Amino acid sequence: MGRRHAATDPSYPRWVWIAAAATVALLIVGGAFVLRALIFPDSTDGPSAGNGSPPSPNEPLAQDSPPAVAGSSPCIALNILTSLENADMARALAAEYTAKPRNVDGKCVTPEVTQEKSGAAAGKVAAQFPGVPAGDRPAVWLPDSSAWLQIARQGGGNTVPGEGTSIARSAIVVAMPETMASALGWDDQAPSWSDVFKMAGEQDVWERLGHGEWGKFKFGKASPLVSTAGLMALAASYGAAGGSVGGLDAMDLKASSLVDKVRAVELGTSHYMATPEHFLWHAREADDAGNVAEFLSAVIVDEKSVWDYNRGVVSEDGTTKQAGPAPKEPLRAIYPSDGVHVADNPAVVLGGDWVDSLQRSAAQDFLAFALTEQGQNVVKASGYRSIQGELDPGVAGTGRYAQTLQPLPLPKAETLAAMQGSFPDVRKRARALFLVDISESMVQDPGANKLQRAKDAVVKALDHFTGEDEIGLAAFSHEGDGPLQPGIVTPVAPLKSNKADLIAKLTELKAVEATPLFEAVSRFAGEQAKGYKDDFINTIVLLSDGKNDTRHPGDLGGVSEQLSHQNHSTPVLVFTLAYGPDADVPTLLQIAKASGAHYYDATDPNRLEEVLGELVTSF
C-alpha cells in the first residue's frame, strides 16, 4: 500500500517519512556516479568509487597476500553492519578472511557481521547508533546500494565519509514461476518494463491464456523507502508510464497526465511488503502446497534472491534463513529488454569517534581482501556478480541469471525526490478492516492492559493511511451462548470521512468474554470479499491474544479453505498479529498463510505498536 514507516521508527506519522524521503533523496545522486563507475569501469564520467574504480574485465585482480604468522591476541574486533540481502556474502567473506593469518599493526582481526533492513540501518548510522555501546557499533557498513550511504550522510555529518568501495553487483529483476514466464513467452523473449506492468494490470490474463486455474495476476513490490528493489520498482513504474525507463530525468514528474499513468501502473500491484523476502517466503509456502500461483505471478527482487529461492533458501523475516529442498517450480529471472538497475553493494569505513585507528586499519585490510581474486571468488560463490561482472556458473544456472546486463542509470537526485514524495499519491489504495479480539483476557493485565494498548496501537497505525484509503473497524467476542458481538463497529469507508468516528468507537470498546476466532475471521473475510474492489488492496488486520474457545460455527480447516478459495478470485489478505504470550500462534500463522498474507509476532506486548506499524506497510 505504500504506507511506509520512517527508516528508524515504524510508528512515525506519514508526513515525517515523506518529508525525510523527499529530502534525503536529494543526495542520492552521488550514488548514481558510484553505480555508473561500477557498471562502466572504463568510463571517466564521474568520480571513482571509494578506494578506486574497480578493475576492467581484462585487468587481473590482486592476489591475497596474508602474513606468515597472525598477529597477537587480543584480536581487533571489527564490527560490520550489512543489509539483509548481502549479509550471507559478508559472513562468507569474513570466514575466508580469517581462514588465513591476519596481522594488522601486530594484532589479529575478528570480523563480526550483523544485519539490518537498509532503511533502518541508514537511520541508525545517521543518528550514530544512539543507546548502543561504543564497542558494539560497526566500523564498516555494507548496504546493498550506494543510495543508502547518501541517505545516512544527510543526517550523520562525517559518519559516512567518501562514496564507499563497491564489492559486488546484483541486478534488480522480475521473478516469475517458470510455467508462468513460459506461458507469456518471456522465457524466450524478454518483455519491456511497459509489457510487465501492462500484464500485471490485466487481472484476467491467465484465464485469457487458458490458465484460469492460476486466478488473478498477483504482482508484488517492496517498499521504495526500505528496499532497493522497491525503489527501483517505483523508478520503473515512472519510466514505463513516461515511455523511457532510462529517461526519467527529462520528464515532468508532476504532469497530471504522467501521474495518472503511474497510478494506473500501480493498480497492477497485488500488495506491497517491506522487503522482497516476504514475498518469496509465501511463494515457497504456496509451492509446498502444490500451487505457487495461488500467491505469486511476479515480484520485483534482486537476482541473488532468485538464486536463494531456487536452491531452497527462504526467510520469513529477512533475517533468519531456512534451507530446504529446491522448490517444485523454480523462479525465472526476467531482465526487461529496456534495461535493469544494478545494486552496487558499497562498503564504507565509518567515521564515528568510536572507530579507533586499529579498527580503521583492520577495516581497510578486510576491504582490500574483498577486492582480491580470492575475495571475489567468495562474492561469486555467494550469488553475486563480481566487480568485473563475472558469474559463478552454478549460481548463474540455478538463479537463471542473464550472462550480461543492460544497466540503467540511476536518476538524478531531484527526480528520485519527486518520485518518492509522490508515492502516497500514486500507490494503490487499501481497503482494510481492523478486526480486534475483545475477549476478557485482553484486560487481565494490571495497569495499561492489552486492550488499551491495542487501541492505542490502532490509532497510531491510522497515521500510515491516506484519506482515500478505505478503513473500517470490527471486534469480536460473545457471552454465554449468545451471538458474536459487537461485530462491525465502523463500516469500511474512506478514512477522510470516518476517521473521527472510528477512533471514538474504538475508544469505547469493552472486553466481553469469549474468543469466537474462527467465526469472526470467516464472517468478516466473507464480507470483505463481497465488497471486493479490483482497484484496492482488500485486507483484514487481525489482532488476537488467545485461541478459539467457543463452539460457535467454524474451524481452522473451514476457515483456511474459505480463504484459499477467495484468494483465487477475490483475494482478501488476512494479516494476523499474535498479541501476548498466550496467542494461538500456529492458528494465526495458518490463517495468514491461507489468505496469502503475512503473520506478525507481538507475543511480547511491549512490541505491539512497533509490529503493527510494520504490518500496515504490507498492503
Res 57: pLDDT = 67
Res 155: pLDDT = 66
Per DSSP (E only), the strands in 154-303 are 165-166, 170-177, 219-222, 271-273, 298-302
| Residues 142, 144, 149, 151, CA torsion sign | negative
Do both 177 and 113 map to the same domain? Answer: no
Phi-psi region at 172: left, alpha or beta (left = phi > 0; alpha = psi -120 to 50): beta
Question: What is the CATH classification number for the domain harbouring 546?
Answer: 3.40.50.410
Extract the residue ranges of the chain whose pLDDT is less than 70: 1-57, 155-157, 413, 445-448
Question: What is the CATH classification number for the domain harbouring 135?
Answer: 3.40.190.10
Do both 140 and 258 map to the same domain? Answer: no
396 in a structural domain: no
Give me the long-range contacts of 95-99 (CB less than 8 A, separation at least 24): 96/369, 96/374, 96/375, 96/378, 97/366, 97/369, 97/375
Do both 463 and 493 map to the same domain? Answer: yes
Give the predicted TM-score (pTM) of the model.
0.84
Res 319: pLDDT = 82
pLDDT in tens, 172-221: 999 999 999 999 999 999 999 999 999 999 878 999 999 999 988 999 99
Do both 239 and 145 map to the same domain? Answer: no
Parent domain of 90: 29-168+349-383
Do both 378 and 489 map to the same domain? Answer: no
Do both 164 and 237 map to the same domain? Answer: no
Res 224: pLDDT = 83
Q: Which of 432, 441, 373 is nearest to 584 (CA)?
A: 441
Do both 44 and 144 map to the same domain? Answer: yes
Do both 131 and 224 map to the same domain? Answer: no
Do both 331 and 202 map to the same domain? Answer: yes
Do both 313 and 358 map to the same domain? Answer: no
Per DSSP (E only), the strands in 380-484 are 429-437, 470-477
Number of structural domains, the chain? Answer: 3
Per DSSP (E only), the strands in 267-381 are 271-273, 298-302, 313-315, 321-323, 331-334, 342-343, 346-349
| Residues 227, 232, 233, 237, CA torsion sign | positive
CA distance linking residue 417 with residue 231, whole number of Å: 11
Do both 314 and 191 map to the same domain? Answer: yes
397 in a structural domain: no
Res 204: pLDDT = 87
Res 157: pLDDT = 64
Unique residue bearing C-alpha cell 527529462: 250
How, if at all, do strands 573-579 and 599-602 pair? parallel
How, if at all, do strands 72-82 and 140-142 pair? parallel
Q: Which helix (H) or strand (E) holds 561?
A: helix 556-569
148 in a structural domain: yes
Unique residue bearing C-alpha cell 511497459: 194
Do both 513 and 449 map to the same domain? Answer: yes
Q: What is the DSSP string of 223-248?
A: -TTT-HHHHHHHHHHHHHHHT-TT-G
Q: Which of 358, 276, 371 is nearest to 315 (CA)?
A: 276
